Amino acid sequence: MVRAEIKQIARDIRTMRIRGAGRIARAAARALKIAAKTSRAKTSTEFMRGLGHVSELLLATRPTAISLPNTIRYVMLDAKRAREVDVQTLRRSVISRADEFIRGSKGAVEQIGEIGARRISDGDVVLTHCNSDCALAIIKAAFKQGKHIQTFVTESRPMRQGLISVRELRKVGIPTTLIVDSAVRHFIRDIDKIIVGADSIAANGAVVNKIGTSQIALIAHEARVLFFVAAESYKFHPGTLVGRLVEIEERPPKEIINPRRFPGLKIRNPVFDVTPPEYIDLIITERGIIPPSAAYTVIQQLFEWKLGEEKI
């Protein structure tokens, strides 16, 4: 039986109370840690079965973000590989890797800020879309270094997470302008660089991110404005090496309008879209800066995957 606390985490992810691929990943690690801590399993098999239930519960919350399965894979790796060990050893392993993940994940955002800030010049005007910790970390790091930068933030309908970004940027004093999603092309000549986050990065360098990202990337490409993706390396999607597709989550219509007021109307609410690699200049990770054309080999290295393996 799954504990209420864990169920609550799963629910919060599903209802987007916990949002953002990084925060979701850390919440999932925390959930597994709680499950490991509180497991009353007598045998290793039982313990692993319990953790398996929790993993499935978590995986079912949001289908697109690869950070969820990657986190679970990371936290459970040693436990899964272990042979003939007792429950206590498994418990310790899960707890310690969960802690390690959470620590690493927070550190990653900081490192991304530091590495990415090298690419922000004094006087730059930077646009960001939606609300990405990694993207904001870069902007803030550059600003802290004394670079005079300004930002444009899109509203990011339907959930308007742009308003959260706007508050975060204003809190540290960065001059910020809010625009509607439709106004990006109108202002593109005023923009020097664009930084967004990522929910999944495929082996061909394509990036799955908040709906609207791909059209901003297209606009940037048209005007030859630099387009950066900022993401922890657990956003890379290993399954794409063997052809798996990233499922695009569609969320309830009511996030857009009250459907009852429009009988007969169809409302489509995909929350992510796919930006092709040719519109992305760089992917900024805590492990360094990766051109989209290197995504394939980077995934090979990150997941120690060999050509032809199906297990991923």
The encoded tokens of residue 253 equal: 């219509």
Q: Which of 66, 126, 198, 219 binds a copy of itself (CB under 8 A)?
A: 219
Binders of a copy of itself among residues 237 to 276 (CB under 8 A) are 240-245, 248, 256-257, 262-270, 273-274
Question: Under the criterion CB under 8 A, does residue 77 sit at the interface with a copy of itself?
Answer: no
> Judged by CB, which is closer to a copy of itself: 97, or 129?
129
Distance (Å) of CA 44 to CA 48, 88, 285: 6, 9, 36
Q: How many residues bind a copy of itself (CB under 8 A)?
A: 85
Q: Which of 156, 161, 200, 209 binds a copy of itself (CB under 8 A)?
A: 156
> Judged by CB, which is closer to a copy of itself: 57, or 241?
241
Q: Interacting stretch for a copy of itself, rule CB under 8 A, among 28-36, 42-50, 82-90, 291-299?
A: 291-299
Which residues are catalytically annotated?
130, 199
The encoded tokens of residue 94 equal: 């899960």
Query: From CA 79, how far away is CA 203, in angstroms rounded?
Result: 27
> Judged by CB, which is closer to a copy of itself: 50, or 205?
205
How near is the Cβ of 11 to a copy of itself at its closest, in Å? 25
Question: Under the criterion CB under 8 A, does residue 291 sit at the interface with a copy of itself?
Answer: yes
The encoded tokens of residue 116 equal: 């990415």
Question: Under the criterion CB under 8 A, does residue 119 sit at the interface with a copy of itself?
Answer: yes
One-letter identity of residue 89: T
21, 41, 160: which is closest to 91 by C-alpha? 41
Question: Under the criterion CB under 8 A, does residue 218 sit at the interface with a copy of itself?
Answer: yes
Q: Which of 180, 247, 252, 254 binds a copy of itself (CB under 8 A)?
A: 180
How near is the Cβ of 206 to a copy of itself at its closest, in Å? 9
DSSP-assigned letters across all residues of 27-90: HHHHHHHHHHHH---SSHHHHHHHHHHHHHHHHTT-SS-THHHHHHHHHHHHHHH--S--HHHH
Question: Under the criterion CB under 8 A, does residue 164 sit at the interface with a copy of itself?
Answer: no
Query: From CA 75, how far away is CA 71, in angstroms rounded?
Result: 6
How near is the Cβ of 90 to a copy of itself at its closest, in Å? 28
The residues, ordered by sequence, that sit 6+ positions from 52 with a Cβ below 8 Å of its Cβ are none
